[in-house]
């Protein structure tokens, strides 16, 4: 969460710097200096190994790369570097849910258990698809408990979960919440979630390099994350990881 916040902070600082110059169109060297100063400071403060930055200013697009994608191999960040999208992918989940509504596969006013029979008879009999898609189910947690590592355990957990708040009255950011909404939408559309997103969202938008799995031949371009012990790590797969992607 800290590193995600730091990237957002960097973007805001950069926007503020450029906004202050809006009355005077900066040449590219001035823009580059502004970006360099902001990003170098950010990377140093939060120990970020590498970043790729895109800036759109007055209709022009500028791209900048900093640091390493892999410390071990001293692989620099380039335009070809592959980054994990993380929770940015929730926009794809929301788009798929909306598409399921538009095509009549679901209605957002339907109760969640109506479309996922294994949780019928649970609290989700009174919680709508809109509630779980907008984090207002009543206090679903940020993540599943660590021991929930299979679909059967996930179903059992949903069956026994009890809301702290009345549905629709309290918003709490939650991967199990929007993840369930995405899962149900895909189930009702009759195809795997990853296939639906690839065919209905990524391909029409021309996002041909956005994928759920990195092919082995492209791992050379992968941007590694690092643990507190400075060991290379990847995003850990889990239940509903495609639909929620923390």
| DSSP SS3 for 181 | helix
The CA distance from 47 to 180, in Å, is 34
Query: Which of 214, 228, 227, 224 has the alpha carbon at shortest distance from 72?
Result: 224
- Kindly give the pairing relationship between strand 232-233 and strand 225-226: antiparallel
Give the count of beta carbons closer than 10 Å to the beta carbon of residue 158.
Answer: 21
165 is catalytic: no
98 is catalytic: no
87, 95, 98, 194: which one is catalytic?
Answer: 87
**For the chain, where are the E strands, in sequence order?**
50-57, 60-70, 75-76, 225-226, 232-233
150, 152, 165, 173: which one is catalytic?
Answer: 173
| Beta bridge partners of residue 75, listed in sequence order | 70
Residues marked as catalytic: 87, 173
């Amino acid at each position: 969460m800290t590193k995600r916040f730091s990237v957002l902070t960097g973007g805001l600082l950069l926007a503020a710097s450029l906004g202050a110059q809006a009355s005077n169109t900066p040449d590219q060297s001035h823009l580059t200096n502004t970006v360099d100063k902001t990003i170098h400071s950010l990377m140093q403060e939060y120990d970020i190994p590498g970043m790729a930055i895109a800036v759109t200013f007055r209709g022009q697009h500028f791209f900048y790369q900093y640091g390493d994608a892999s410390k071990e191999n001293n692989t620099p960040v380039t335009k070809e570097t592959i980054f994990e999208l993380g929770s940015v992918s929730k926009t794809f989940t929301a788009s798929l849910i909306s598409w399921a509504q538009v095509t009549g596969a679901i209605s957002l006013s339907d109760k969640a258990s109506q479309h996922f029979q294994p949780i019928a008879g649970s609290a989700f009999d009174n919680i709508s698809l809109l509630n779980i898609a907008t984090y207002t189910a009543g206090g679903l947690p940020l993540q599943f408990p660590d021991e929930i590592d299979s679909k059967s355990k996930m179903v059992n957990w949903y069956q026994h979960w009890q809301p702290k708040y009345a549905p629709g009255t309290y918003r709490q950011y939650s991967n199990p919440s929007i993840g369930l909404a995405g899962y149900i939408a895909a189930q009702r559309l009759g195809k795997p979630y990853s296939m639906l997103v690839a065919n209905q969202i990524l391909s029409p938008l021309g996002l041909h390099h956005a994928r759920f799995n990195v092919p082995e031949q492209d791992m050379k371009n992968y941007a590694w994350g690092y643990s507190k012990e400075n060991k290379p790590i990847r995003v850990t797969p889990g239940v509903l990881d495609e639909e929620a992607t923390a």
